[in-house]
A = this chain, B = another copy of it.
Amino acid sequence: MITDPTTLHILHIFYLVALAAEAMTAALAAGRRSMDWVGVILLACVTGLGGGSVRDLLLDHHPLSWVGSPSLLLVTSGAAILTIMIARHMHRLQRLFLFLDAVGLVVFSVIGSNIAIGLDQPILVVIAAGMISGCVGGVLRDILCNDVPLLLRAELYATVSIITSAIFAGGGRLGFDHNLVLLLAVATGLCLRMLALRYNWSMPKFIYKHDLD
């Protein structure tokens, strides 16, 4: 578990950047469905803060992040409003956003794992906590937009989150230096995600045509 104040501080800054980035991609998804401004803000809050909330509910870890620090709601709401204002320039920032989204995935995963480690959870639960933190926000966004969650269909999204969490949890368990493990987990996750985007990597699909019911 990371307890070094400097590392936690840096991680928190990355968390805020990632939170804003997730909120902004959610706002764009809302805009594609012509939601109203309040809907845009709500979808941004749910997407940014939903993964951590589900993790904390499942682990009985209270208060939830935004209940303890309500200013996080201002970060996600502010990012949503900013998105509405600069939407016409957003398509030029596509690459930046894909990068920030990857940062979000990886940072959320590491933070979620770290919380589960702090609760003395077994390693499978630590990895699950990382993946839930990293991925569930996007799943909630897709459910609210009435899509089959992207997570279940394509890209290495969940895989990246699981690998990042596994490196972080496993490295810590094996007694390596926490900052080193953190750096390794984040770097691996980030590279894997960017390479997957660049070369269209994906997991093999399971295709089943029979109707069982």
The residues of A with any CB-CB pair to B shorter than 8 Å are 25, 27-28, 30-40, 42-43, 53, 57-60, 62-64, 66-67, 70-71, 73-74, 84, 87, 90-91, 94, 97-98, 121-125, 128, 139, 143-154, 158-159, 162, 202-213
Nearest B residue to A38 by beta-carbon distance? B158
Q: Taking chain A's interface residues, is the majority helix, strand, or loop, or is none over half, making it mixed?
A: helix
For the complex with contacts A37-B203, A60-B62, A90-B212, 6 further pairs of A-B residues with Cβ separation under 8 Å are A28-B208, A28-B210, A38-B162, A39-B152, A73-B128, A145-B148
Taken together, the copies of this chain in the complex come to 3
B59 touches A67 (CB 8 A): yes
* Contact A146 to B144, CB < 8 A, known contacts A35-B206, A42-B152, A90-B210: no
- A146 contacts which chain B residues (CB < 8 A)? 146-148
Complex alpha-carbon distance, A66 and B58, angstroms: 10
- Contact residue among B37, B67, B204, B212 (Cβ-Cβ distance under 8 Å from A28): B212
* Contact A35 to B152, CB < 8 A, known contacts A59-B67, A146-B147: yes
CB distance from A23 to the nearest CB of B (A): 13
- Contact residue among B67, B90, B143, B159 (Cβ-Cβ distance under 8 Å from A143): B143
CB distance from A33 to the nearest CB of B (A): 6
